[in-house]
Amino acid sequence: MRYVIYGAGAIGGIIGARLQQQGQHVTFIARGATLDTLRRDGLQLRTPETDQILAVQAVGHPREAAITADDAVVLAVKSQDTAAALDALADAAPADVPIFCAQNGVANESQALRRFRRVYGMYVYIFGLHLAPGLVHGYTAPCHGVLDVGGYPDGADSLASWVASDLAGAGFDSLCRSDVMRWKHGKLLANLANALHAACGPGADTSDIYATARAEGEACYRAAGIAWASAEERAQRMAALLPLKQVDGAPFPGGSSWQSLARGTGSIEGDWLNGEITLLGRTHGVPTPVNDFLQQLARRMARERVQPGTMTPDVLRGQLSTAVAIGH
């Protein structure tokens, strides 16, 4: 079985590189400068243990990959890019090719299921960095990350078990789970802090704001009847990854939203993180003023290409208070 990795950023780059190192057949779908670099120079993977350059197969569009139902597509684009990626896939791949959503948020799988018959969720905890084309950093060793796999909306089958086994063989801690979306909903609650970390830096004390955002999320889950993995469960699942290690003498700088601002992409996944909670709140009549503010803040920072970590927590609290007052 070939793995088609759609997106060669931090997550897709590390997953694809480790699978290829294990002897799996891997094709990357990338774009722009990343595609050019992969074709010209290969994929560079820096970790606490090694600095390697891999010669990889990379194409610019799904139609160039000649995808068949015997392949497995790992969707590793940011959630704001999912719709466009799936449209391109649907025009080039058979409807029964399996799609594995290795992404933040919980809405990618349903989008995929509109176009493809076999969709799987992937619970991802990889501390990866992608700021330059063709270069990814991984900050954990010897385990490369947690990648649990399960069917969408639920269940587990032989293919999910097969993929989990391949990932485990490539150095990831990977389990086949029938309730993978429960775990992804649990991670979504943690990702509600992404906008805070992007604005103020991951080391800033914004725990009071996050606690309120999380409480809103849990209230929405209860109203919608959604189950989620607890913080304690997720902490135990991540234990093998900690403590994080340094790469090139530097610690892990920040997560996916932080990296989007650092790269100045002009887009960010806040609509699929805090925005997922505002959607649930509006659907079920649950107030979500903090998540609404954080969703809008993330969009504004990305649109204005603000660098990460440039806002103080006190300034952020002031803007939040003003926004909530106006909203009421």
Shared domain check, 294 and 273: yes
Shared domain check, 193 and 121: no
Shared domain check, 210 and 151: no
How much is the average pLDDT of 274-303? Answer: 98
Looking at the predicted structure, is the pLDDT value of residue 37 above 60? yes
pTM (two decimals)? 0.96
Q: Which of 296, 246, 248 is nearest to 271 (CA)?
A: 296
What sign does the CA torsion over 302, 305, 310, 311 have?
A: negative
How much is the average pLDDT of 251-261? Answer: 97
Among 178, 197, 232, identify where a domain stops: 178
Among 129, 160, 178, identify where a domain stops: 178
- Per residue in 57-95, pLDDT (tens digit) is 999 999 999 999 999 999 999 999 999 999 999 999 999
How much is the average pLDDT of 267-296? Answer: 98
Looking at the predicted structure, is the pLDDT value of residue 328 above 60? no
Residue 117 one-letter amino acid? R
The pairing of strands 43-46 and 135-138 is parallel
Kindly report the CATH number assigned to the domain that includes residue 223: 1.10.1040.10
How much is the average pLDDT of 264-287? Answer: 97
Shared domain check, 235 and 116: no
Q: And the tokens for 134?
A: 């063709």
Residue 101 lies in domain = 2-178
Query: Which residues are within 8 A (CB) of 19 and not within 5 positions of it... i.e. 6 or more apart?
Result: 3, 26, 166, 167, 170
* Whole-number pLDDT of residue 229: 98
Looking at the predicted structure, is the pLDDT value of residue 327 above 90? no
Shared domain check, 163 and 42: yes
DSSP string, 259-275: HHHHHT-S--GGGGTHH
Q: And the tokens for 56?
A: 């990889």
Rounded distance, CA 30 to CA 296, Å?
29
* Whole-number pLDDT of residue 326: 80
Provide the edge-to-edge strand list for the sheet that holds 72-75: 57-59, 25-29, 2-6, 72-75, 99-101, 119-125, 146-151
- Per residue in 87-117, pLDDT (tens digit) is 999 999 999 999 999 999 999 999 999 999 9
Shared domain check, 216 and 192: yes
Shared domain check, 42 and 73: yes
- Per residue in 205-216, pLDDT (tens digit) is 999 999 999 999
Kindly report the CATH number assigned to the domain that includes residue 10: 3.40.50.720
* Whole-number pLDDT of residue 270: 97
- Per residue in 44-56, pLDDT (tens digit) is 999 999 999 999 9
Shared domain check, 152 and 13: yes
Looking at the structure of the chain, the number of domains it has is 2
Among 137, 156, 178, identify where a domain stops: 178
Q: And the tokens for 123?
A: 């619970």
Shared domain check, 90 and 171: yes
Instruction: Place 325 in a pLDDT band, splitting at 50, 70 and 90.
Output: confident
Q: And the tokens for 119?
A: 């969709």
Shared domain check, 168 and 229: no
Q: And the tokens for 310?
A: 């440039």
* Whole-number pLDDT of residue 305: 97
Shared domain check, 9 and 150: yes
Shared domain check, 164 and 22: yes
Tokens 């954080």 sit on residue: 294
